[in-house]
Amino acid sequence: MADVKIIDVSPRDGLQNDPNMVSTNDKEKLIKLLLDAGLTSIEVTSFVHPDKVPQMADASEVLKAVAKFEDLKAIALIPNLKGYERAKEHQLTEVNWVSSATETFNQKNIGLTIDENFKQFESLQAIAKKDGIKTCFSIAVSFGCPYEGEVSEENVLDLVKRVKGAGADRIGIADTIGIATPDQVERLMRKVLEITGDTPVAIHLHDTRGLGSANAYAAYQAGVRIFETAVSGIGGCPFAPGAAGNLATEDLVYLFHRMNISTGLDFDKLLDAADYAASLSSKNPLGRIRHVERKQPRGKLA
């Protein structure tokens, strides 16, 4: 059994902000490559308004295309109850409901106050449980906001308490703009885990300032065992100016494998998925390890 769980978000968070449209077939191929590498929990799409995020306009088509993959535990991001109504028509393991730690980002991202958003989530809980679909409540800009600057830990922790009380199946803490430092991550995540108890907690890290791997290790030291990443480090948030890509899945797996922390993933096949993801992106992906590993002989250090 793996020591940590990795959820790859490249088909959704990795592609959502790319100016070049990626076909449904290409997204299906990326998801298949991720599955071949051993990743089963994959955030495959989001049910947001296509005017806001055109790359996700084919959400239904993607989920129909990947329904044949038996090992896939498909996750879809939903911004509201209307999005859930569309999502639940498909074969899903989990929906990811997003809120923010600041009011300004919540308004920019979702068009609701934090309280309005949370009340909708409470309504979702009863519906999703009846439908047999798990819920994750993710808290964006938990370490810093592009509009409000520093974010108080209490803002995050108060929301975590409310989400825990509402019965979310999983809670996500996101460094949406890649502003966090390792000491900040370890301090906040220890406090989060004290509140959540047996509710699984994931951390979602962006590598904007090159601290993604260091922050992931700090989260691991704090007790986090679920990590959301994207192969080749593609991605970015349409509502966070200047936000760069996610922490690269293969970079984190390389780190864990070097430390004898099991991920259950095939590193070579993960590099194949990373190369393909990079080919779909019009930007310069942030992932580092695939460049090194493709150019030198593989030895004990790999």
**What backbone phi and psi angles, to 5 degrees, belong to 114?**
-60, -40
| Helix axes 24-36 and 59-66, enclosed angle (nearest 10) | 40
**How many Å is the Cα radius of gyration of the chain?**
18
- 237 noted as active-site residue: yes
Q: Which of 159, 222, 237, 286 is catalytic?
A: 237
Answer yes or no: are the C-beta atoms of 137 and 168 closer than 8 Å. Answer: yes
Say how many residues make up the chain. 302
Rounded CA gap, 4 and 146, in Å?
A: 30
Q: CB-based contacts of 282: which residues, under 8 Å, 6+ apart?
A: 18, 19, 20
DSSP letter at 208 equals: T
Contact of 245 with 284, CB cutoff 8 Å: no
- Whole-number Cα distances in Å, 279 to 20, 61, 196, 231, 268: 11, 21, 39, 11, 17
DSSP state at residue 172: E
How far apart CA 247 and CA 191 sit, in angstroms, is 23
Residues annotated as part of the active site = 237
